[in-house]
Amino acid sequence: MALCLKQVFAKDKTFRPRKRFEPGTQRFELYKKAQASLKSGLDLRSVVRLPPGENIDDWIAVHVVDFFNRINLIYGTMAERCSESSCPVMAGGPRYEYRWQDERQYRRPAKLSAPRYMALLMDWIEGLINDEDVFPTRVGVPFPKNFQQVCTKILTRLFRVFVHVYIHHFDSILSMGAEAHVNTCYKHFYYFIREFSLVDQRELEPLREMTERICH
């Protein structure tokens, strides 16, 4: 029997959503508009398009935060099955290995276990989306000039979570009855990054065959 996703997600408090939109702000209204479109049953390709008259950076910001929350939760359902012993390297099958690099502890690309990579990734993204200089929330404060470049890096790294989960933990997705939910989240993510050309095509290669099958 399929498990209720809310029950699954409640098991691991480490990977609960960590970013909300402030009610009354323009971004909150955009978020509500995006969620309403999702729930309406509209084609996901249509849902991701920039609404007329809206600012593209605001639209991207809303989706980056939402995808962070959703993918954070998806990985949270796998966390108990993704360990130092089961996943000693952050990989996507035998052909793809992802190394971690940041501006603090790992200045050179480092080979890490999947759970260590994931923990660093989620903390890194959380730090960025809570940084007012990167994701400004105050009215009248502009986005930085490199905002879309930052979002490209965030989304590229979040895509790697899908790669690892689908290739190494798909049995867990099936056993929890979460396949439809994860697939829908992936399709929404995929259509969004393609709509705005936010992730290099080469990064998408590990899931190309699956993507061609479910995102036809």
Q: Which residue has the tokens 């930052």?
A: 150
Binding site, residues? 82, 87, 164, 169
**Residues listed for the chain:** 216
List the structure tokens of 109: 């690309």
Q: 93 — alpha (psi -120 to 50), left (phi > 0) or beta?
A: left
Amino acid at 24: G
Rounded to 5 degrees, what angle do the CA atoms 134, 135, 136 make? 105
Residue 58 contacts residue 26 (beta carbons within 8 Å): yes
Question: Distance between alpha carbon 27 and the CA centroid of its chain, in Å?
Answer: 18
Residue 97 phi, psi dihedral angles, 5° rounding: -130, 135
Binding site for Zn(2+), residues? 82, 87, 164, 169
